[in-house]
A and B are shown apart, each in its own frame.
Chain A
Amino acid sequence: MKFDTPATTNPIDRMKVVGQPIDRIDGRLKTTGQAPYAYEQNDAVRDPAYGYVIGAAIAKGRITGMDLRAARAAPGVLAIVTAENAGPLGKGDMNTARLLGGPEVDHYHQAIAVVVAETFEQARDAAQRVRVDYAPAGGAFDLAAARDTAKEVDQSASSVGDFEGAFAAAAVQLDATYTTPDQSHAMMEPHASIAAWQGDRLVVWTSNQMINWSAGDLAKTLKLPKEKVRLISPFIGGGFGGKLFLRSDAVMAALGSRAAKRPVKVALQRPLMMNNTTHRPATIQRIRIGAAPDGRIGAIAHESWSGDLPGGGPETAVDQTRLLYAGANRLTQLRLAVLDLPEGNAMRAPGEAPGLMALEIAMDEMAEKLGMDPVQFRIVNDTQVDPNDPDRPFSQRQLVKCLQLGAERFGWDQRNPRPGQSRQGRWLTGMGMASAFRNNLVMKSAARLRLDSRGEVTVETDMTDIGTGSYTIIAQTAAEMMGVPIDKVTVRLGDSSFPVSAGSGGQWGANSSTAGVYAACMKLREAVARKLGFNSADAVFAEGQVRSGNRGATLAEAAGPDGIVVEDILEYGDLSKRFQQSTFGAHFVEVAVDAATGEARVRRMLAVCAAGRILNPKTARSQVIGAMTMGVGAALMEELALDKRRGFFVNHDLAGYEVPVHADIPHQEVIFLDEADPISSPMKAKGVGELGLCGVGAAIANAIHNATGVRVRDYPITLDKYLDRLPEAV
């Protein structure tokens, strides 16, 4: 099915199942420990051996020798795979650095060997006995030091009007620089895989967001035809972008299994995760805004510097600034430095998350300079068209309504606009807000449906559920379309033998994957109608039956003893080009800062989101509160601490890399505006999982400024950065 004209009325609009706050259909499995994750395939894999990964102890240089003798002689050892004996390997299209290093080392903790043994304890012990000699080489590790070497990223420059002239002439100006640190996805389930060879075919149970990408990249890495590789990923213990790509666990398991001639399971040890896998790269961002005294922006510029390994990409931190606010004169630019750090790549809301952390502080600073309320300043600068191309409208844009409703519900009128003036006992209190913005991407997605002789529906697609609720919303979609109760729908996901879906990334998964199921359902409805001799246009599917005029049959009767199987894909035309599709929101936060110690506590949080049709308000709300929680981490604590001499992230575990815990998070409120966007897909839905993160960090930063009067432009906002500037404690 091709989606190239805006959606009209369709069966989803009934909203009997879709749009309802239905409990997750996989909830009983997950809460009782019965959901099998990648490393837990005891029913499918008998007698696996265990792999333990060795990571490089230098950031850059060369391995001059590996002494494997003691390890090979250790009890239980079955095989040790290194670059020397792995055979020729390719590199996946989505990988920047090789997943098995040696003799050249590209980054710290790059995998350089996997030790396979009968037991986990034996593999771990033998791995400690491997002696590696290195010839370290110098490298570039510090973004600030490498800033001047950064190159302009092709096609990243965008210029409208005369920014420099308009900025120079503006009555009120801001020119400020902000920094965001390297961050880690730190999902709870480590990257894990079990590999089993069946002749020349390879089956890998893994934890991965994008089955089709990773099946292709595993085949490419191992120099196999793609059809020889099968990936299975039924449950994924969090990803946040860290499991978008093939990673070393899958490659090490496959190589270890080939060498040991046994199924091999590998879970990347937690202390390897931060340097072995990808991370969100640090940024330096310069923002200039020029406005008239009435608050109208006449000039806005956003430039961002980030670093990555040779061949890598930039953190696209300026993208939202092209679209979020009006202004006749505009400039955005990305610059990329070569750094010899672990690979930088996508983490939840890549680009917009760090970009809005900077932009939305800048907007707060500008409002303060103008003497305007920060909410009003944003409203004044709303635009209903793409500021770069005024003929191109937004498909839907309810930013102003998000801002107004949020201000009203949060009690924004109680905020003292003069910072550092509100005190409750030992606590300095303040409120902050920020706009939320994230583009709505659509991806083609396919699904297979089977209607069986009991009138039950099975959906198969290689879509993944990384906690997003894919199982549930796909079941809701099929139930709505086919007119059956949700318990008559079975959803099977995450298997590369199923039709290729959109996968989970870029907040496109929910809308795109259910749209693919919609397309397959339309085909199944036609097949059912045809079999019954009904006109599919006027056939009504409800309560397990299909009716046309005064004729009717049950779905079970229509399916017959052999059932009906269909498959379809939803592909997109140029609506994304003709309309700017984005999601919008507003974040409001209240903080309290200890006047003596500087300890910052988040007291209240509210998000208002305009993100198209909400397919399941319960799971969508969870996406948003989870993102708000990650935003608290970004604002107050998350930072991969860099050793600038040796080029690695020092705090590479869950004790050193601090993420929010229960005690950090207050009650969180989420409001979804009633919206349906017929431009986005037949589902009229958009994404929310990343929108919920966008702007949170800045809202907290702005609240801390309102509480203390101190402006911190370098994340995370830890108390060492403002303690000496707090108002005098009485």
Chain B
Amino acid sequence: MSKVSFSVNGEVRDLELDTRTTLLDALREHLHLTGTKKGCDHGQCGACTVIVDGRRINACLSLAVMHEGDAITTVEGLGSPENLHPMQAAFIKHDGFQCGYCTPGQICSSVAVLEEIKAGIPSHVTADLTAASQVTPEEIRERMSGNICRCGAYSNILDAITEVAERQA
């Protein structure tokens, strides 16, 4: 067992955990923040995507005790049913989900992807590494490809992200 302290959605949480506990299980089983989903537990599906210190990660691939002092944002921290984040509202409007199980991960990824593009971080499909990154369908599809949606809502998710990006621009 080991002590760890980090903030989740702006609230400091002090936990004493089995050192084998992943960040994902710390969130789901210890803090009961079950919005972050376990789809594979092996970093293969993206359902557990959360934002740590501004960067998106697969929470299942990271032990909780590695996050001392980190600031973690989960889907619950982006918005609530009564006060939706613009990305959550866009997913509803464009029906960017069906079963909903990959959805929190898709939304956390989407929010982080737009920040990555803004920050000029290139992707595999960025043609010109010296130019400013653009919000194009190809860039969004490439950067979102770590988040599997078996219901196949990709076309609608792209529409949702594009709308939020255009509003931010």
Contacts and interface: CB of A to CB of B under 8 A. Distances in A.
Q: Please report whether the interface of chain B is mostly helix, strand, loop or mixed according to DSSP.
A: loop
A188 B144 contact: no
B156 A622 contact: yes
Contacts of A660: 152, 154
B156 A625 contact: yes
B34 to A, nearest CB: 4
Nearest to B36: A33
A681 B54 CA distance: 52
A467 B38 contact: no
B95 A188 contact: no
A662 B92 contact: no
A235 B47 CA distance: 16
Interface string A400-439: 0000000000000000000000000000000000000000
B42 A33 contact: no
A33 B47 CA distance: 11
Contact of A28 (B36, B84, B99, B154): B84
Counting chain A CB atoms within 10 Å of each CB, the highest count among B91, B100, B102, B156 belongs to B100
Nearest to A185: B150
Contacts of A36: 34
Given A24-B95, A238-B99, A186 B150 contact: yes
A33 B145 contact: no
B21 A190 contact: no
Contacts of A278: none
Contacts of B155: 625, 629, 665-668
Given A30-B97, A654-B45, A628 B39 contact: no
B41 interface: yes
Contacts of B38: 39, 190, 267
B112 interface: no
A653 B152 contact: no
A206 B27 CA distance: 21
A637 B91 CA distance: 27
Given A37-B101, A466-B99, A654 B34 contact: no
A143 to B, nearest CB: 25
Contacts of B146: 661
A571 interface: no
A190 B102 CA distance: 12
A226 B25 CA distance: 34
A621 B95 contact: yes
A662 B32 CA distance: 30
Contacts of B25: 120-121
Size category of the binding interface on chain B: 35 or more
Contact of B41 (A27, A40, A270, A663): A270
A291 B32 CA distance: 64
Contact of B42 (A34, A120, A270, A623): A270
Nearest to B25: A120
Given A32-B75, A33-B75, A188 B154 contact: no
Interface string A638-659: 0000000000000001110001
A269 B39 CA distance: 9
A121 B22 CA distance: 9
A618 B133 CA distance: 32
B3 interface: no
Interface string B41-66: 11011010000000000000000000
Contacts of A626: 98, 151-153
B99 A23 contact: no
Contact of B37 (A29, A125, A237, A269): A237
Nearest to B140: A662
Interface string B138-163: 00111011111111111111100000
A240 interface: yes
A491 interface: no
Given A189-B39, A467-B98, A33 B74 contact: yes
Nearest to A271: B42
A21 B39 CA distance: 30
A413 B93 CA distance: 35
A658 to B, nearest CB: 10
B65 to A, nearest CB: 12
A659 to B, nearest CB: 6
B145 A662 contact: yes
B92 A187 contact: no
B99 A29 contact: no
B81 interface: yes
Interface of A: 23-24, 26-37, 39-40, 42, 119-122, 125, 185-190, 235-240, 267, 269-271, 466-469, 618-619, 621-623, 625-630, 653-655, 659-663, 665-668
17 contacts: A24-B95, A28-B88, A33-B75, A40-B28, A40-B34, A188-B39, A188-B148, A190-B38, A238-B98, A270-B41, A467-B100, A468-B98, A629-B152, A654-B44, A655-B42, A660-B154, A662-B144
Given A32-B35, A34-B76, A238-B98, 5 more contacts: A119-B18, A240-B150, A466-B99, A618-B95, A630-B150
Q: Lowest 8 CB-CB distances: which A-B pairs, in order? A: A33-B35, A629-B152, A237-B101, A467-B98, A467-B99, A30-B100, A626-B152, A40-B34
Interface of B: 18, 20-21, 25, 28-29, 32-42, 44-45, 47, 74-76, 78-81, 84, 88-89, 91-93, 95, 97-104, 107, 137, 140-142, 144-158
